[in-house]
Amino acid sequence: MNLFDVYPINDITIVKAKGSYVWDNEGQQYLDLYGGHAVISIGHTHPHYVNRVTDQLNKVGFYSNSIRIPLQQELAAKLGKVSGRGDYSLFLCNSGAEANENALKLASFHNGRKKVVAFSKSFHGRTSLAVAVTDNPSIVAPINQTDNVIFLPFNDEAALEACFQQQGKEISSVIVEGIQGVGGIREASATFLQKISQLCKEYGAVFIADSVQCGYGRSGKFFSHDHAGVDADIYTMAKGMGNGFPVAGIIIAPHLKPKHGLLGTTFGGNHLACAAALAVLEVIEQERLIANAAEAGSYLIAQLKKIPGLQNVRGKGLMIGFDVPEPWKDLKKNLLFNQHIFTGEAKPNTIRLLPSLALRKKDVDAFIESLEEEIHVLEGAARVTE
């Protein structure tokens, strides 16, 4: 049997990983500034994480949500503390798309409405509702198409206000990333998020903060939306939550009420997933990784800004992007194959950096040196072809 060929892959086989590094099957070491799409939050194979998951696996790996799972309560308490949202409730699931699917559904159950406001360049996942609120028609199948989604320009407060004035009583929810990831590291402005919060309150709509990529401390605060001083009604989380173990969740403000059977999943919140998620939060706390993300991120951004030719260096904490001019379009590929550094991209010309929150200054310095070297080579090649 062949694999269903949907992923454009790099011809690299990773066999070992530690902290911010991975190694291929020929022993080559790579600096990982991408974390497999922003997933590696506390660093690869962190000893506390490995021990907690291994210990749990030796006790009980899985049982369904038909019995008491005290680890879930322990996780909820820890998450409430670290996120500063102790009065919210936690529903656990398995992926970012599933988290958003549940958030949109819960909003609609809550207010009985159907319309959702989403924004240009948003990415919220690939399941039915999540993809319907994603601004990329090429991944929306005919069966996912719906008239219930209103796309507005990102960061356009006037358009948002006008939309609520016209159809505010029909709007169930507004879903927004605090910093768009797939869309190219584009930050929602503080005033835009404050406007969403205000209009949702005024019209009885639910404010959904998609924190799947920009959350879990990556921006230098637990939720990137926290930089705007707003409280969303639902936060969705995934990627960094399990440091690679598939675990996701939504946290829900107290005015949204549960009912038996309203939401559900077989795998969500299983013992092993909770152990992984708890280990991540314990390391985030013990090693002050949110503060490290803020500090290492500011340093990295400052260093990038000093490099002539890199355009629009932007981001917060360790969610960073910059644009590369056309003659340097091979930069990402060259960083990977010549310098052995993983980075990410966003179309058409953005390089995205989403390293572990434990990134060290020496790794930033090594990256900057490699980046300058590759730019120098590309500059030379561009001059020859002129």
Ligand X SMILES: Cc1ncc(COP(=O)(O)O)c(C=O)c1O
Name the site residues for ligand X (rule: CB under 6 A). 37, 95-97, 100, 123-125, 177, 181-182, 210, 212-213, 238
Nearer to ligand X, 192 or 328 (CB): 192
Q: Which residue is nearest to ligand X (CB)?
A: 96
State the nearest-atom distance from the C-beta of 6 to ligand X, in Å.
13
State the nearest-atom distance from the C-beta of 181 to ligand X, in Å.
4
CB 175 within 8 A of CB 101: no
State the nearest-atom distance from the C-beta of 153 to ligand X, in Å.
18
With residue 72 as reference, give the H or E element that holds it.
helix 70-83
CB 199 within 8 A of CB 205: yes
The span from the CA of 134 to the CA of 149, in Å, is 10
Cis peptide before 348 (omega within 30 of 0): yes
Nearer to ligand X, 99 or 364 (CB): 99
Nearer to ligand X, 213 or 243 (CB): 213
- CA 355 distance to own-chain centroid: 12
State the nearest-atom distance from the C-beta of 26 to ligand X, in Å.
29
Nearer to ligand X, 129 or 375 (CB): 129
State the nearest-atom distance from the C-beta of 192 to ligand X, in Å.
16
Nearer to ligand X, 43 or 184 (CB): 184
State the nearest-atom distance from the C-beta of 180 to ligand X, in Å.
7
Convert 219-259 into a string of H (helix), E (strand) and C (coil). CCCCCHHHHHCCCCCEEEECHHHCCCCCCEEEEECCCCCCC
Nearer to ligand X, 79 or 378 (CB): 79
Convert 115-183 into a string of H (helix), E (strand) and C (coil). EEEEECCCCCCCCHHHHHCCCCHHHCCHHHCCCCEEEECCCCHHHHHHHHHHHHHHEEEEEEECEECCC
